[in-house]
Amino acid sequence: MDQTLGLLRVRVKRGLNLAVRDVRSSDPYVVIKTSTHKLKTRVIKKDVNPVWNEDLTLAVLDPNLPIKLTVYDHDTFSRDDKMGDAEFEVKAFAEAMKMDLHGLPSGTVVARVQPSRQNCLAGESCITFTDGKLCQDLCLRLRNVECGEVELSLHWMGLPGIK
């Protein structure tokens, strides 16, 4: 545990326009994976625009390594179908944690991450200082699928004795 930089709370908010994998809909859930952790949301039945609003907490060992997200369609009698994947980085978020934010007004944008060919962002993502804490909202465009996006919110949770 001494190598852990901190805990990252990932709120999986919702999916948008996810692919249909059953007859007319899908039963989606999200898996988030790092080199050491694998966590998943609950299954939302028959919905291509699911709302999870579910918090998953990951230990961050190396902010340079991307976090992988995969959406699956739950099937009862066969293997779950993949509905797309994405990656997101926490490097800019970890760098913002090192800034001296004392005295900043709540709601201040401290950094912006632009969409590019090297990331899965569907649009600009802002890292914001709100109520004494940093948060980052992002919308990820899913790859390896015909359509779909997933909205997330990141919150850094420090460890006792670690700044």
Write the Ramachandran bin of 98: left for phi over 0, alpha for psi from -120 to 50, otherwise beta: alpha
pTM of the model: 0.92
What residue spans define the domains of the chain? Answer: 6-102+138-154
Q: What is the pLDDT of residues 72-106, one digit of tens each?
A: 999 988 999 999 999 999 999 989 988 888 889 99
Radius of gyration of the chain (CA): 16
Closest CA to 87 of 63, 68, 113: 68
Closest CA to 31 of 80, 71, 82: 71
One CATH from 3.30.460.10, 3.40.50.2000, 3.40.50.720, 2.60.40.150 for 6-102+138-154: 2.60.40.150
The tokens of 105 are what?
């007004």
Q: What is the pLDDT of residues 15-40, one digit of tens each?
A: 999 999 888 899 999 999 998 889 99
Q: How far apart are the C-alpha atoms of 8 and 108, rounded to whole Å?
A: 20
